[in-house]
Amino acid sequence: VGSPGSGKTYFAVYKLWSMFIRKEPVKKGFLSKILKPKAVVNKYLYAYTNINEFKFELDERLIKFDFDAVYSDLSRLYTAYKIEKKSDAELIEIAKPMRLYNVLFVVDEIHNFFKAKEDPVLVWWVTYHRHLHQDMYFITQDLTLVNNEYKRVAERFYRAIDSSKRLFSKKFKYAYFTSYKMNQVDRVNSFNVNLPFDSEVFNLYHSGADSQGKSIVKYYVAIIAVLLVFVSATIYYVLSSFASDEEAAPVSSISTADQPAQLSPANDTRKRPVSVEESNLNEYFYTLICIKEICRLEGETVFIPESYLQFLIRSNPPKYFYSQTKLKEHSSFFLVFDKPILDKFKGVPHVKNVKDDLNSGSSLFGSDKSRADKN
């Protein structure tokens, strides 16, 4: 069964070709003597077919199917079986001169012959043909045109897959079913019969339909492949862009927005660089220790207001920044600049704070004691 161009006729002609016409190629070489392919054994004496423009001249055992002549001979066999009660052996002897014993039938457009509701001769033929060593291959475009009386007897049903639905145009594909209803549950384990395209077989007949049509499946596969490549390339490009941005951007947790920046330390577990010697000569390293809003360089005694540090950092962003919180209001910061931004706070003598000045009685205009002495 199959639509025009699906290869349903090719299936039947391939059977005739392999049994009556095909010649095994002569293989030479050492391995060909050991690994000999299994030869196809033709068990049929004759073959009947009505395929359009079939080349019967290639073998005299290929006979053109004449329904009226065959039906007449079948009627005689049916009478011998039904009325005369002949045995199988006797019926075989009657069938031999009729050339109906051990034969193959390949009949196209079978719905033209199996359209009667109950033809006793034809019903007997399809049910009894195995006793006469006959095999039958019937072809039709629409199985519903064949009466159910004949379809129930058939053992196998093949549906030719349209050429547009085949992945490879060099092969004909057939789905195998066990019921004439050919539902999905009737399909045998999704099993398919694949026949290679052979120009010799194709040239044996002319159906006007069977051909190597272009496969739509190939276009879908090609489109999916292109989409996969495009998506993969896009993902790779995006990931590469993120990676390059992370490598190029300086690491800094100090805000440079219009609002006042804060040296708010983060709970960072990254390790501090091992030593200054391993860095470049044009890099300047500073460690700041801050308590609340007052900071100083490690090892120095000059106190630096946090607001002034924020001003310096906004004006000169560091190349590297690292923070660590030790206590709630006690933090340390490690910064790397390409200029000696904080060197001005190194080696400067300790400056007393305002509280110390008040305790000592000093002011911007001098101590009270000094003024008294002058007076």
Among the residue ranges 106-120, 146-160, 241-255, the one predicted with the least confidence is 241-255
Say if residue 190 is in the same domain as residue 282.
Answer: no
- Residue 122 lies in domain: 8-219
Is residue 86 helix, strand or coil? coil
- Residue 325 inside a domain? The answer is yes
What is the Cα–Cα distance from 124 to 78, expressed in whole angstroms?
A: 7
Domains in the chain: how many in total? Answer: 2
Q: Read off φ and ψ for residue 297, nearest 5 degrees.
A: -70, 145
Instruction: Look at residue 16 and tell me if it is in a domain.
Output: yes
The residue among 204, 219, 234 that closes a domain is 219
In sequence order, which residues have a C-beta less than 8 Å from that of residue 55 and are 6 or more positions away?
203, 204, 205
> 212 and 277 share a domain?
no
Average pLDDT score over residue span 17-30 = 73
34 and 146 part of one domain: yes
Q: Are residues 12 and 113 in the same domain?
A: yes
Are the C-beta atoms of 144 and 181 separated by less than 8 Å?
Answer: no
Place of tokens 């033929």: 125
Q: Are residues 75 and 173 both part of a single domain?
A: yes
Bigger pLDDT: 27 vs 77: 77
Residue with tokens 């009657």: 94
234 compared with 126, residue with greater pLDDT: 126
* 309 and 185 fall within a common domain: no
Question: What six digits make up the tokens of 91?
Answer: 């019926």
Model confidence at 73, pLDDT cuts 50, 70, 90, reads: very high
Cα of first residue to Cα of last residue in the chain, in angstroms, is: 131
**E strand or H helix at 322:** strand 320-325
Let me know: does 13 contact 205? Beta carbons within 8 Å.
Answer: yes
Buried b / exposed e along 264-286 (16+ C-beta atoms within 10 A) = ebeeeeeeeeeeeeeeeeeebeb
| Claim to verify: residue 271 and residue 214 sit in the same structural domain | no
51-69 pLDDT tens trace: 999 999 999 999 999 999 9
Q: Is the CB of residue 188 less than 8 Å from the CB of residue 159? A: no
Distance separating alpha carbons of residues 345 and 341, to the nearest angstrom = 9
Does 84 reside within a domain? yes
| 193 and 279 part of one domain | no
Average pLDDT of 243-258? 47
In a domain, 95, yes or no: yes
Q: Where are the beta strands (DSSP E) in 4-89?
A: 46-49, 62-64
Give whole-number Cα distances, 4 to 52, 72, 104, 302, in Å: 14, 32, 24, 97
Q: Does residue 37 contact residue 22 with C-beta atoms inside 8 Å?
A: no
d(CA 281, CA 369): 53
What is the domain-level CATH number for residue 128? 3.40.50
Q: Quick check: pTM over 0.85?
A: no
Query: Mind listing the pLDDT tens digit for each residue in 272-314?
Result: 444 444 445 688 888 888 887 888 888 888 888 888 888 888 8
Q: Does some domain include residue 231?
A: no
Residues 212 and 297 in one domain: no
How far is C-alpha 111 from the geometric centre of its chain's CA atoms?
A: 42
Q: Examine residue 119 and state whether it is found in any structural domain, yes or no.
A: yes
pLDDT-wise least confident of 21-25, 31-35, 65-69, 274-278: 274-278
Examine residue 1 and state whether it is found in any structural domain, yes or no.
no
Rounded Cα–Cα distance for residues 82 and 311 (Å): 117
Q: Are residues 162 and 290 in the same domain?
A: no
Burial environment of residue 44 by CB neighbours within 10 A (0 to 12, 13 to 18, 19 or more): middle
Among residues 193, 219, 245, the one where a domain terminates is 219
In a domain, 261, yes or no: yes
* 268 & 200 share domain: no
Assess whether 203 and 260 both reside in one domain: no
